[in-house]
Chain A
Amino acid sequence: MRFTLKKDKSGVVIVGVEGQLIVGNRQELKQKVLDALEEGSRKFVIDFSKTGYIDSSGLGVLVSLSKKIREQGGELRLAGLNADLQTLFELTKLDTLFAITRTAEEALAAF
């Protein structure tokens, strides 16, 4: 399990989630994104293309981060969901809250 953050040339922060996003590591992801927000970043993509599973705590932290980023005038996009994760977002209706693209590149292009 690992989170990676990198910034593209237009200043969008791309967060990679390797492994799982669950109750035991969600605070680490939250803090990394909030730190970047505090440092002035406003556009974020979370890339789940290397993510195996997400529990409800992981979903919850995405909801929380999305609100905080929007409050600062920014935007959070999600990308790279596999079929099971896409179904999870649809079941929970979280697909209506987030802009979700197939790849991180598509998310970057949409900003």
Chain B
Amino acid sequence: MRLDVPSDLGMVGDAVELVASHLPPGTLSPRRISFNLRTALAEALGNAIRYGTGEDPARVVRVRVELGRDYVRIYVIDDGHGFDSSRLPDPTSPPNVEREYGRGLFVIRHLVDDVAFNEKGNGICLTLRAG
């Protein structure tokens, strides 16, 4: 499945629903689809639209879904400059807990089985395994 999502934060919910509703039954449990996959994909799309494409309506974020027998892998790629995921502060440290922003990648890492970035840092790959 491939999807080009307009760089509009208002499209995130619809894009997430489109992907989630087209997954064949059986690979992931309904609970993992309804919570882990939806939340992680909304995070990845929101980050790509806000920071990667700058909410520029002329640009798109590309989503590709790869289905295996026991996994679902979702690639979210923007055409931005990328970022260094190793330099993000811990959002659970005392001074950061009360901040409005900075939890996105932390949340993704706890919801999926594997997170990988491309070399440029403008593409994220989320893997959720069966179970």
Chain B associates with chain A: yes
Q: Chain A interface (Cβ within 8 Å of chain B)?
A: 1, 19-20, 22-25, 52-57, 59-61, 63-64, 67, 84, 88, 91-94, 96-97
Knowing A56-B104, A59-B103, say if A84 contacts B35 (CB, 8 Å).
yes
Q: Is the CB of A55 within 8 A of B39?
A: yes
Looking at the complex, which one of A24, A92, A97 makes contact with B106 (CB distance below 8 Å)?
A92
Knowing A84-B31, A93-B97, say if A20 contacts B42 (CB, 8 Å).
yes
Q: Across the two chains, which residue of chain A brings its CB closest to B104?
A: A56
In the A-B complex, list the 6 residue pairs whose CB atoms are closest, starting with the nearest: A23-B46, A56-B103, A60-B100, A84-B35, A56-B104, A55-B42
B87-124: CB near A (< 8 Å → 1, else 0) gives: 00001100001111111101100100000000000000
Question: Number of residue pairs across A and B with beta carbons under 8 Å?
Answer: 83
Looking at the complex, which one of B11, B99, B107 makes contact with A55 (CB distance below 8 Å)?
B107
Give the distance to chain A from B95, nearest Cβ to Cβ, in Å: 12
Looking at the complex, which one of A19, A24, A94 makes contact with B97 (CB distance below 8 Å)?
A94
B1-30: CB near A (< 8 Å → 1, else 0) gives: 000000001111100100000000000000
Cα distance, A104 to B31, chains bound together (Å): 24
Give the distance to chain B from A50, nearest Cβ to Cβ, in Å: 13
Cα distance, A94 to B101, chains bound together (Å): 13
Cα distance, A110 to B38, chains bound together (Å): 33
Looking at the complex, which one of A19, A24, A60, A84 makes contact with B10 (CB distance below 8 Å)?
A24
Q: Is the CB of B12 within 8 A of A23?
A: yes
Q: Is the CB of B38 within 8 A of A53?
A: yes
Q: Is the CB of A63 within 8 A of B11?
A: no
Cα distance, A63 to B10, chains bound together (Å): 21
Q: Across the two chains, which residue of chain A brings its CB closest to B37?
A: A53
Cα distance, A28 to B3, chains bound together (Å): 26
Knowing A23-B42, A24-B9, A97-B97, say if A91 contacts B110 (CB, 8 Å).
yes
Q: Across the two chains, which residue of chain A brings its CB closest to B99?
A: A63
